[in-house]
Amino acid sequence: MTYDATIEEPRGDYVKLEEGFDGRAQEEASSSSGCDGGGDGGWCWSLWWWLKLILVVTFLGVLAAVIFKWVGPFFMDKEIIPIIHWEMETFSTQVLALLVFGSVALFPILLLPSTPSMWVAGMTFGYGYGFLLTIGAVAIGVSLPYFIGFLFHHKIQMWLERYPKKASIIRLAGEGNWFNQFRAVALIRISPFPYVIYNYSAVATNITYGPYFLGSLAGMVPEVFVALYTGILIKTLADASHDQHSLSASQIIFNTVGFCITLATTVIITLYAKKRLKELRREDHLLLQ
C-alpha cells in the first residue's frame, strides 16, 4: 500500500501542473485574440486600418500641395506650355476636336493608350463638351476591336489558354443573363485590367454585343472624368505658370482637395470592382463544382 501511495502522489502533481499550464495557455490565447477579429476584438484591426488611411491621405495631400506649388510650375514651363502653344497655334478648335475624337476612337485598335487625348479634351473643351466628345469616341473605340477580334478568334482562344488566371476573369463576362454580362463588363472596365487587351479578348467569350457595349460605356465613365479633370488641372497650372504668378492659397487648397478626392474615389471604385470580380469568380467556381 505504501508503494502505491508513492506512485499516485507525483501523478496527481503532474496532472495539476498540466491543467495549470493549459489554463494559462487558454487565457493567453483568448487575450491575444482581441486584435485578431475574434468577438469584439475587431476594433483593433479597424482602428489600425483607419490610421493607415489617414496617414496615406495626409501624405497624398502634402505631396499634391508640393506638386502644385513647386514641381508643377517648373514642369509646365519646360514641357506642357510649349506643347499647348504649339497646339493652339497649329490647330483650330474644330480640327483639335477631330484629332481628339479620332485618336480616342482609333488608338485602341492599334493597342495604343488614348488617355493623353482625353487630357487634351479636358484642357480644350472642359467637362461638358469634353465628356460628350470623349464618350462618343470611346463608343467607337470599344466596338471596332470587338468586331475585328472575330477575325482572330482562334488565336485569341490560344492566348487565353496560356494565361488561365486572366482568362477566368474574361470568361466571367460571357456567363449568365444579359444583366450579369453587363455588370461583369462594367467591373472589368473599372478594374485595372488592360483596356485595349479586353477590347479584343472579349470576343473569345459568349458575351453578346449589347451588354459588352453598354457595360464598357458605363465602366469607362469614371476613367473619362478622371482624365478630363487631369486635363483641366494641367491647364490651370499652365495658365498660372504662363502668367508668371503662383497659385493663391485658395486655389492650392481647392486643387489639392479636388486631386485627393479624385484619387481616393478612383482607388475606392477600383478596389470595389476587384472585390466584386473575385466574389463573382468564387460564386462561379462553386456553381461549377
pLDDT per position in the chain (289 positions), as tens?
444 544 444 444 444 444 444 554 454 444 444 455 454 556 777 788 788 888 887 887 787 777 766 666 666 667 666 777 787 778 888 999 999 999 999 999 998 888 889 989 998 898 899 999 999 999 999 999 999 988 887 888 787 777 776 677 777 777 778 888 898 888 888 887 778 888 888 888 878 899 999 999 999 998 899 899 888 888 877 776 666 555 566 666 666 677 677 667 767 777 777 777 677 666 655 554 5
Instruction: State the pLDDT at residue 49.
Output: 79
* pLDDT for the residue numbered 2: 47
Name the residue with cell 508668371.
244
pLDDT at 243: 60
- pLDDT value at residue 21: 44
SS3 177: coil
Q: Computed from CA positions of residues 164, 210, 213, 264, in that sequence, does the dihedral angle turn out positive or negative?
A: negative
pLDDT of residue 198: 86
Burial class (CB in 10 A: 0-12, 13-18, 19+), 3: exposed
Q: Is 166 helix (H, G, I), strand (E, B) or coil?
A: helix
Contact (Cβ atoms closer than 8 angstroms) between residue 111 and residue 141: no
From 243, 128, 149, select the one nearest 196 (Cα to Cα): 149
**How many residues does the structure list for the chain?**
289
In the prediction, which pLDDT does 285 show? 56
